[in-house]
């Protein structure tokens, strides 16, 4: 029999159910109710303050690593299934996103992208909250593929038939977003500006790098970053959801119009 009573509800509490309080002890039910009623702490941009590891960032990194291993185990079949190619993606649109989860066989490619994600992801995940961070990453990844599609030059160009993959488009989206988030919160963003400039220049001067995807992801990151960071507090949810929907529709429309133009060109040539 317990002779200790909860200071809030007055019910007896056994030793296993007692929780220390400012005065006396409380039962687990009262502690749970108090935690539920406590006001949610938010960041300056409305993200929910959470303890523990950045779950979304870790999940994305884990998916990319597992996918990279599968590329070796399946002897390239996994790569061919998920990679983006302009002529394939018209009938397999999932490639616009899936290509961001595979990388080249060189470990440098995945190591650089995962390091960039590790550096920027936890901060953005905390500041923006999980759902906006997921939307940012996914739409930036799609934006990278759409950017490549728009600048590939159409079916008459070799670039239309090149395999493109990697998380670089999504990472550049994070770069663009964190630039605006840092500026909005009064922090020095010069390092990010330099980082964007260096990495974009590398894509321009070295072959085998899809700078078009970097540009597409960056544009999406800047647009969503501006909406998420500068939305008025009282309309933050509405603006964030609206901007996310508008960007998603714009990407779909851009891809559809590009393919429609390519199909028309094919009919004329044929």
The residue-averaged pLDDT of 202-206 equals: 75
pLDDT range class, residue 102, cuts 50, 70, 90: very high
pLDDT digits (tens, 9 = 90+) for 237-270: 999 999 999 999 999 999 999 999 987 755 544 4
**Residues 115-125 pLDDT 10s:** 999 999 999 99
| Residue 7 near residue 26 (C-beta atoms within 8 A) | yes
**Residue 97 φ/ψ region, left for φ over 0, alpha for ψ in the -120 to 50 degree band, beta for the rest:** alpha
Is 31 a residue whose pLDDT tops 90?
no
pLDDT bin (cut points 50, 70, 90) of residue 89 is very high
Reported as a pLDDT band with limits 50, 70 and 90, residue 170 is very high
Tell me the sheet residues that pair with 48: 42
Full set of structural domains in the chain with CATH: 1-38 (no CATH), 55-269 (1.20.1540.10)
Alpha-carbon distance of 223 to 206, in angstroms, equals 27
- How confident is the model over 35-69, as pLDDT tens digits? 666 566 878 888 888 878 999 999 999 999 999 99
Contact 99, 66 (CB under 8 A): no
Q: What is the pLDDT of residue 247?
A: 98
The burial class, CB within 10 Å (0-12 / 13-18 / 19+), for 10 is exposed
Q: What is the mean pLDDT of the chain?
A: 88
3-state helix, strand, coil in the chain (%, to 5): 70, 5, 25
Percent of the chain residues past pLDDT 90, beyond the cut: 65
262 CB-near residues (< 8 Å, 6+ apart): 90, 154, 155, 160
Q: Is the pLDDT score of 29 beyond 90?
A: no
The residue-averaged pLDDT of 165-192 equals 93
Residues found in the chain: 270
Tokens coding 93: 């649109």
State the Cα–Cα distance between residues 159 and 147, nearest whole angstrom.
Answer: 12
Among 123, 101, 130, 221, smallest CA distance to 172 is for 221
More confident residue, 194 or 164: 164
pTM, full prediction? 0.84
Q: Is 188 left (phi over 0), alpha (psi -120 to 50) or beta?
A: beta
Sign of CA dihedral 58, 200, 226, 178: positive
pLDDT, position 123: 95
pLDDT at 193: 86
- Greater pLDDT, 73 or 209: 73
């Amino acid at each position: 029999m317990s002779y200790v009573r909860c200071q809030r509800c007055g019910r007896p509490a056994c030793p296993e159910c007692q929780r220390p309080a400012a005065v006396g002890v409380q039962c687990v039910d009262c502690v749970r109710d108090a935690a539920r009623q406590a006001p949610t702490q938010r960041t300056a941009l409305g993200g929910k303050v959470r303890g523990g590891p950045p779950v979304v960032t870790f999940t994305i990194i884990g998916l990319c690593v597992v996918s990279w291993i599968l590329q070796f185990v399946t002897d390239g079949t996994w790569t061919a299934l998920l990679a983006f190619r302009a002529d394939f993606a018209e009938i397999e649109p999932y490639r616009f996103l899936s290509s961001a989860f595979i990388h080249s066989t060189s470990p440098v490619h995945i190591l650089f992208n995962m390091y960039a994600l590790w550096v920027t992801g936890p901060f953005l995940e905390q500041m923006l909250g999980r759902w906006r961070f997921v939307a940012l990453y996914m739409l930036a990844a799609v934006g990278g593929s759409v950017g490549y599609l728009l600048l590939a030059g159409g079916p008459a160009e070799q670039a239309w038939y090149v395999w493109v993959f990697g998380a670089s488009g999504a990472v550049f989206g994070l770069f663009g977003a964190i630039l605006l988030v840092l500026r909005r919160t009064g922090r020095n963003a010069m390092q990010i500006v330099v980082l964007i400039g260096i990495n974009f220049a590398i894509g321009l001067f070295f072959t085998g790098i899809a700078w078009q995807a970097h540009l597409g992801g960056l544009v999406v990151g800047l647009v969503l970053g501006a909406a998420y960071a500068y939305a008025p507090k009282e309309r933050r949810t509405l603006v964030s959801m609206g901007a996310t929907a508008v960007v998603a529709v714009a990407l779909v429309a851009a891809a559809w119009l590009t393919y429609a133009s390519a199909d028309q060109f094919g009919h004329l040539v044929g």
